[in-house]
Amino acid sequence: MKYPKSQTYDRQFLLDNMMGPNAMKILEEMTQLPEMLELKPQMRVLDLGCGRGLTSIFLAREFGVQVFATDLWITASENFARFKEAGLDNKIIPIHADVADLPYADEYFDAIISIDSYQYFGREEGFVDEKMAPLLKKGGKLAIVVPGLVKDIHDNIPPEMLLSWNAEAIETLRSPGWWRDLMSKSLRMELQAVGELECYSECWNDWLACDNEYAIGDRKAMEGGAGKYMDLVYIIAAKK
Ligand SMILES: C[S@@+](CC[C@H](N)C(=O)[O-])C[C@H]1O[C@@H](n2cnc3c(N)ncnc32)[C@H](O)[C@@H]1O
């Protein structure tokens, strides 16, 4: 797969701001999935767990949507400086918030996009109906990508995986089937697609090339062979 849009961005800027597998390429592939909403300039998009805002920049620049770049670990001031530098501070609103207590009106968003963060807070049954569905307009889309596993191996964790991650971290990694079961229990969202992204290897290789302590930490498992168990899982659901 080719990533013509992501490839127009400065590679060093991307490496400096990645917090996991290349979120910009992930988003580029996700926005081409047939079940994905066609993003248009007048739309409002919640970029949930945006980290350093690479996906927020991509959404604002490539689609002209208004983005609410929301994150817990990265401050609004840090992201505001980056969005200003990118000339996108009129399109992206940086928000520092916990998903447990988001400051948004009901039915405010056309889409919620969440790359590499939903696995930390969205694994409980009921979460999607209580916290995500209210924020979306009718027909609005929830589009998630999480690092996951080809199949669930939690009863017998391969030793290669433990080279970088403890059992608690591995608990967040789940198979497409596990996510399908969870999301299909939603009463307020219609599950439209669950699958694996093609960009998995490329996005991981970009991340492992980062000079970032977490990327360096992840190299041990991936170089030890854990990559064969890993996956990038996408989930798309629409508000009923
Ligand atoms: C691995 S980083 C990924 C960041 C970004 N999406 C990317 O792919 O580069 C996970 C992000 O999830 C966010 N996150 C975790 N728990 C959260 C919560 N309870 N509320 C809001 N954001 C949360 C963190 O702040 C962090 O930036």
Task: Please say whether the beta carbons of 115 and 27 come within 8 A.
Answer: yes
What is the C-alpha to C-alpha distance for residues 119 and 80, in angstroms, rounded to an integer?
A: 25
Q: Which one of 27, 73, 165 would you pick to mutate in the ligand 1 pocket, going by the greatest count of ligand atoms within 8 A of its CB?
A: 73
With cut-offs at 50, 70 and 90, classify the pLDDT of residue 1.
confident
Percentages helix, strand, coil for the chain (3-state, rounded to 5) are 40, 25, 40
What is the C-alpha to C-alpha distance for residues 37 and 33, in angstroms, rounded to an integer?
A: 9
Task: Please say whether the beta carbons of 145 and 197 come within 8 A.
Answer: yes
pTM to 2 decimals? 0.98
Atom of ligand 1 nearest to the CA of 100: 19
Nearest CA to ligand 1 atom 4: 51
Residue ranges of the domains in the chain? 6-146+172-203+231-239
Topology annotation, domain 6-146+172-203+231-239: Rossmann fold (3.40.50)
Q: What is the largest CA-CA distance in the chain?
A: 49
Cα 4 from chain centroid (whole Å): 20
User: 48 alpha carbon to ligand 1 midpoint, in Å?
Assistant: 7
What's the whole-number mean pLDDT along residues 106-133? 98
What is the average pLDDT score of the chain? 97
Atom of ligand 1 nearest to the CA of 117: 12
DSSP 130: I
For ligand 1, whether the C-beta of 99 sits within 6 Å is yes
Q: What was the pLDDT predicted at 2?
A: 83
**pLDDT tens digits for 175-227?**
999 999 999 999 999 999 999 999 999 999 999 999 999 999 999 999 999 99
User: 117 alpha carbon to ligand 1 midpoint, in Å?
Assistant: 4
For ligand 1, whether the C-beta of 147 sits within 6 Å is no
